[in-house]
Structure 1
Amino acid sequence: MENWGLQLPYPLEILPPKCPMLTTLLFSGCNIQSIPEGFFKHMHGLKILDLSANPIKNLPDSIANLKNLTALLLRHCRSLEKVPSLSKLKVLKELNLEATSIKEIPCGMENLLKLNYLNLNGIGDLYEIPDRALSKLSCLQDLIVGETVISGEDVGGLKKLEILKGRFFDLHNLNAYVQALHGREEPLEYIIRVGERGWVEQINTRKYIELCGCNIYTNQIILPHVEELYIKECNLNCSEGDPRFSRFILISLSTFSSLKFLDIYNCKSIKKLFSPNCLPLNLQELSASECNMLEEIIAIELGWNQSEKATMEFHLPQLRLFSLWNLPKLKSICSVNGVIVCDSLEIIEVRNCPKLKRMPLNLSQLDNIRLQPSGPLSPLICIKPEEWWESVEWDHPNAKSILEPLLRSCW
């Protein structure tokens, strides 16, 4: 049905089509530019209407009387700026307005009590959904609104939600959402952005949270069982003596038991990342970049019980990527007598970390590399500047000689 150039005209003296038994109308991608005002007047039995991917600018008001409609699909109608009132569509279950040009939610959307799928993703002019506009949609299972701001309290009241993709204005709304769950299971899949609009497009997991431009210092952070956490340009002015230090990323082991990917970018005031007893053991990728004040990755808090001579081992058994970029004050990865055991490590990146003089990584692969230099466990090491390699110390006595053939210069 592609490229029909359809306009669906009929002469004024001819009545609109009478198709009272018609249940499904699929006009997706037909290049429809206009639809006569009364076109749907005699289609009372219509249940599924798909007008997706058409250059249509206006919809006829007769759509508002399709009381048996269960699916209204208008995705990628990029010229569409307004949708008629939906208040009479009491049995509508699926509403897809993705990548349209509407500037506000359709009138009457709050009355769609049977709605279980709502997609408002990719609508650049739709900044936010008004408070309480979602609170009555108790059957909603899939809520996909992309960068549009939603109320944490409203979304938290949607007890059947299985997929959530949207943006909260601030951490207060994120906290309100999590608290409103009241012990219920979190959605099976979520992409939650908090604060300013970010730019991460490649998401590796089903449970992703992005904090961008948030003031974390004055907020208590409450996060679900997130698998991927991206933090950009946030105010994280905590010190190890501040009780909020332990709350930053490390509220509890159970909270972060599922965390697989952690990326911290351009957080100017953060000094520490982890405390020893709160490492996310399932972490696969750890990246920190452009954090001008970051001094230590695993920091010992005041009162931490440790022996001066005993070696402390911090285990990250699934860590594959360890990336440190442009961290001018980074002095240590962990304490003087600590080592990180990371037997799955595949890529090590160190770029412009001039004060970092020790790599306390316990790599059991080193002995395997010595026997099989091209083996599958050989980690790739990217550094800049190259002179850093000469000054850094490794805990393993033969690490430099074994790893040197694997060196690459970072671009």
Structure 2
Amino acid sequence: MAAIVAILGIVVTPVTEAGKALVVTIKRQASYLLCYRSNVDDLNNEVENLLRTRNDVQRKVDADRRNGQVITNDVQKWLKKVENVKEDANRFNDQVKESISCFNLRSRYCLGKEAKKKMDDVCRLQTEVKSINASYPPPPPTIESLPARGFMPLESTEFSMNRVMDALKDGSINMIGVYGMGGVGKTTLMKQVAKKVKSEELFHEVIMVTLTQKLELKTIQGEIAEKLGLKLDVESQDVRAMKLSERLTHELKSKKILLIFDNLWERLELDDVGIPLEWNDKGCKIAFTTRSVEICNDMDSQEKVPVNVLSKADAWNLFKEKAGDAIDSFELNVVAKEVVKECGGLPLAIITLGMALQDKDKKVWDDALLQLQRSNPTNIEGMDQKVFSSLEMSYNYLESKEAQVCFLFCCLFPEGYSVSENEMMKYGIGEGLFKDVNTLEEVSCRVHMLFDKLKASCLLLEGDRSNSVKMHDVVRDVAVSIASRAEHGFLVKAKVGLKEWPEIKNVQKCKRISLADNEICRLPNQIECPRLLTLLLDSNHFLKEIPNGFFQGMNSLKVLDLCDMDISMLPPSLECLKNLRMLWLDRCPRLKDVTLIGRLKKLEILCLQKTGICELKEKMGELENLKLLDLMETNSLEMIAPNVISRMTRLEELRMGNSFGKWEVMGNGDARQASLAEMASLSRLTVLYIHVENVECLAQDIPGPWKNLKEFCICVGRDYTDGKAERSIKIKNSPCPNAKWVEELFNRTYELELMHCEGLDNLMQSHELGFNSLEILHIEKCGEMEHVISLEEEPLQNVFEHLNKLSLEELMNLKTIYWANFQPVSSKT
């Protein structure tokens, strides 16, 4: 009271009637002041708490949006309300500041009451957000969402589209063939037809399946089933067909379905796929695209619809759409019309060349026209020479040699194959394709950039896998034609049904050979290929043996891919490959001894996933230039000699998930196995996937490159499972870890999983562990846990600030999520 009296500047007189009245006034005014101060302070505190909650919600919304989730209207409205509260609180605080200058206690009292009311609104918002779902998964993609790059309403295609639509409406027609040369726009046309029939409700469902040149019935069945929500988890083709037929028969009871097969190269037996016999009787139809009218006849099509090249007017309009309005200028108009004429009306060529010449000057256009007029491409059945010329021009106008080589390397893979950035990175490092890059991460970024450039130039398409690309089949034909020229030295015969090594003219001049995905069962004893840099023999599943001298004439070889083969040993002539930089042996389950690889001193990339090797002997430690060692899922690996890993001092990526896990405890003088202490030598390591069975390693302070790791998955205990996030730690059947190296990774992990951890009563007991990066937390069957977090000091403000998934299972003694035994220090008024 004395302090309040002093603040008010009032002198208390002796106890008289006037004095008593004065005391009552003082108390009333003091009450007004206390109410005002308390409520205003409380309001500001609650608003700060609400804004922190808002920030957490906004981070989750942003993360969900990046992951393709659909953001709910409720959370958006809530965020808007919070923004309004923030603005209202700012205006209110301005009023409070004004009230300080005029000493009106009743006015302050009113402001205090208003603050109390606003605080109730803030608290309601804090409660409301707990019941709001921020997002939900997007609906499955529909036919309406199919992209149709390069589509424009054109008179040339209107005729074909109308004929297809008329056939779909004709009850007497159930099989429709759409044919035309490669790149003429058949796929684009059928995507538009699919959208149109859905919008006009001619069919309840439209299923479009893209085929490869060699029919893969299991793949076709899988795609149809997936779009019907059916999971075909059996291997037998006949059983899959039966299940698919049963599902389609059930669907036909209430739905009319249009099934579109895109890019058919041979007769497709519908019974083998699982198309029921009553398909046509229910008003359902099948349409397909093909390059040959003969396929239409083979499929007994009642309607055969040709798709022809564009008229001059349509070709010009499409070219203008891609090249820009500059082609109407006096300077470019004449040459642009000649360029369009050379494209021969093929939409793919027009689109590709238009984008390649966009924003280029007159001299570039003149040169493009000259080359188009003079080119003489290799003949390919069904392809016009003009098509090759125009597509090759897009290749020639790529801004960098790296992009050109990257493009050509994509044709080494089978038709329709999705080439991942990771695969191209390994080939690029092996051949040294990319300049001015020093690390695997830098190469990965370069490949990503080149893929983006090639997709933007319409030379590559989005692949079927994450971070991958694939080639349109026409573009691939052009790429093979270019790559086969002497200066490039490619020989590409991937997935063409070879049963033996082919006869190769001028094999001594070959630089790159791809015989991948064939049925070769025998190799020559020796091949003289002194200039050969890259050899792909992967996926020749029948090949059980490589002759001892096979590699003797390949001294220049830098890249060797022997994945998915049935070989049991490596030939002695492998030692001749002194310049080899990339060796890929994934999925060779009978291969057990790889000691010979230790003599390939220039090796930088070594991939041994899912091989049958049992040990890495001391000789492997001589691979001192190795940057990537991949032993993922090599679950037969039981022994790694000491000091093998530590001598690979240039390692940047070490991938050993679901592989060797018997790391010895550091300090054993008679060590027979590798220890985690060897990581201390790997100063360049940025990616680490390992399994640790010996739980004693968690109690040791092991030096290592832990702070440098940008991607890791550490699994401790008996089992190994890959993490969902790129930084994850999973500990099972182990005591609570307390080593500094584990804590270092804890603070940087995105995903943490703890199961059956004895002695773990809470996740952290100090500020040293903040889990500031954690996004996913799963704790299961930790019976002694009472609190997820328990602190004996001041509570943390930012703990779990990025957490968006918390899973707690079978924690029988759990009391609270977050508990702090903290006593605030009292302060004087």
TM-score (norm 2): 0.32
1:17 and 1:39 in contact (8 A); partners too: yes
C-alpha distance in 1 between matches for 2:725 and 2:643:
30
Aligned pairs for 1:337-348 within 5 A:
none
Tell me the residue number matched to 2:752.
262
Tell me the residue number matched to 1:103.
614
How far the C-alpha of 1:98 sits from its partner, in A, is: 1.0
Tell me the residue number matched to 2:526.
16
C-alpha distance in 1 between matches for 2:739 and 2:555:
52
Tell me the residue number matched to 1:188.
710
CA 1:295 to 1:74, structure 2 compared with 1: closer, same or farther past 3 Å?
A: same
Aligned pairs for 1:217-256 within 5 A:
220-223=739-742, 225-226=744-745, 256=747
Aligned pairs for 1:10-409 within 5 A:
10=524, 16-31=526-541, 32-83=543-594, 85-105=596-616, 108-146=619-657, 147-149=659-661, 150=663, 151-170=675-694, 173=697, 178-181=702-705, 185-194=707-716, 196-201=717-722, 203-216=723-736, 220-223=739-742, 225-226=744-745, 256=747, 258-275=748-765, 277=767, 279-301=770-792, 304=793, 316-335=800-819
1:209 alignment partner, SS class: strand
1:5 alignment partner, SS class: coil
C-alpha distance in 1 between matches for 2:618 and 2:789:
52
2:727 and 2:750 in contact (8 A); partners too: no
2:618 and 2:644 in contact (8 A); partners too: no
1:273 maps to a residue whose letter is L
2:606 and 2:628 in contact (8 A); partners too: yes
CA 1:216 to 1:45, structure 2 compared with 1: closer, same or farther past 3 Å?
A: same
CA 1:128 to 1:190, structure 2 compared with 1: closer, same or farther past 3 Å?
A: farther
C-alpha distance in 2 between matches for 1:336 and 1:164:
35
Over residues 244-285 of structure 1, what are the superposed CA-to-partner deviations in whole Å (9 max), with x where a residue is unaligned? xxxxxxxxxxxx2x4443333223543233447555344434
C-alpha distance in 2 between matches for 1:295 and 1:112:
49
CA 1:69 to 1:211, structure 2 compared with 1: closer, same or farther past 3 Å?
A: same
C-alpha distance in 2 between matches for 1:224 and 1:211:
13
2:703 alignment partner, SS class: helix
Over residues 357-386 of structure 1, what are the superposed CA-to-partner deviations in whole Å (9 max), with x where a residue is unaligned? xxxxxxxxxxxxxxxxxxxxxxxxxxxxxx
C-alpha distance in 1 between matches for 2:625 and 2:536:
22
How far the C-alpha of 1:118 sits from its partner, in A, is: 1.1
C-alpha distance in 2 between matches for 1:331 and 1:205:
29
CA 1:153 to 1:281, structure 2 compared with 1: closer, same or farther past 3 Å?
A: closer
C-alpha distance in 2 between matches for 1:144 and 1:273:
28
C-alpha distance in 2 between matches for 1:212 and 1:136:
30
Percent identical pairs in the alignment equals 26
2:607 and 2:629 in contact (8 A); partners too: yes
2:617 and 2:640 in contact (8 A); partners too: no
CA 1:54 to 1:91, structure 2 compared with 1: closer, same or farther past 3 Å?
A: same
How far the C-alpha of 1:185 sits from its partner, in A, is: 3.8
Over residues 209-258 of structure 1, what are the superposed CA-to-partner deviations in whole Å (9 max), with x where a residue is unaligned? 222333447x645325436xxxxxxxxxxxxxxxxxxxxxxxxxxxx2x4
Over residues 63-106 of structure 1, what are the superposed CA-to-partner deviations in whole Å (9 max), with x where a residue is unaligned? 12221211111111122222352343221111111111111126
2:519 alignment partner, SS class: coil
CA 1:177 to 1:118, structure 2 compared with 1: closer, same or farther past 3 Å?
A: farther
1:90 and 1:112 in contact (8 A); partners too: yes
2:752 alignment partner, SS class: strand
2:566 and 2:589 in contact (8 A); partners too: yes
2:772 and 2:798 in contact (8 A); partners too: no
Tell me the residue number matched to 1:356.
none
1:205 maps to a residue whose letter is A
1:289 and 1:325 in contact (8 A); partners too: yes
Give the superposed CA RMSD. Answer: 3.2
1:175 and 1:222 in contact (8 A); partners too: no
Structure (1 or 2) with the greater strand fraction: 1
Work out the number of aligned pairs and report it. 293
C-alpha distance in 2 between matches for 1:145 and 1:314:
34
2:729 and 2:752 in contact (8 A); partners too: no
C-alpha distance in 2 between matches for 1:162 and 1:314:
27
Over residues 120-139 of structure 1, what are the superposed CA-to-partner deviations in whole Å (9 max), with x where a residue is unaligned? 11111102422101222111
C-alpha distance in 2 between matches for 1:9 and 1:305:
72
2:597 alignment partner, SS class: coil
CA 1:224 to 1:190, structure 2 compared with 1: closer, same or farther past 3 Å?
A: farther
1:121 maps to a residue whose letter is M
How far the C-alpha of 1:61 sits from its partner, in A, is: 1.1
C-alpha distance in 2 between matches for 1:109 and 1:337:
54
How far the C-alpha of 1:58 sits from its partner, in A, is: 2.2
CA 1:36 to 1:287, structure 2 compared with 1: closer, same or farther past 3 Å?
A: closer
TM-score (norm 1): 0.62
Tell me the residue number matched to 2:518.
4
CA 1:320 to 1:129, structure 2 compared with 1: closer, same or farther past 3 Å?
A: same
Over residues 35-58 of structure 1, what are the superposed CA-to-partner deviations in whole Å (9 max), with x where a residue is unaligned? 111111222222211111112222
C-alpha distance in 2 between matches for 1:268 and 1:76:
37
C-alpha distance in 1 between matches for 2:711 and 2:798:
30
CA 1:271 to 1:16, structure 2 compared with 1: closer, same or farther past 3 Å?
A: closer
1:53 and 1:75 in contact (8 A); partners too: yes
2:530 maps to a residue whose letter is P
Over residues 190-211 of structure 1, what are the superposed CA-to-partner deviations in whole Å (9 max), with x where a residue is unaligned? 11223x232433x233222222
CA 1:317 to 1:35, structure 2 compared with 1: closer, same or farther past 3 Å?
A: closer
1:145 and 1:166 in contact (8 A); partners too: yes
1:299 alignment partner, SS class: strand
1:102 and 1:123 in contact (8 A); partners too: yes
1:4 alignment partner, SS class: coil
Over residues 153-210 of structure 1, what are the superposed CA-to-partner deviations in whole Å (9 max), with x where a residue is unaligned? 11221111121111234355467675244xx84222111223x232433x23322222
Compare 276-285 and 203-212 and name the one that shifted more: 276-285
2:520 maps to a residue whose letter is L
1:64 and 1:84 in contact (8 A); partners too: no
CA 1:101 to 1:172, structure 2 compared with 1: closer, same or farther past 3 Å?
A: same
How far the C-alpha of 1:143 sits from its partner, in A, is: 1.2
C-alpha distance in 1 between matches for 2:652 and 2:600:
18
C-alpha distance in 2 between matches for 1:168 and 1:315:
28
C-alpha distance in 2 between matches for 1:284 and 1:44:
50
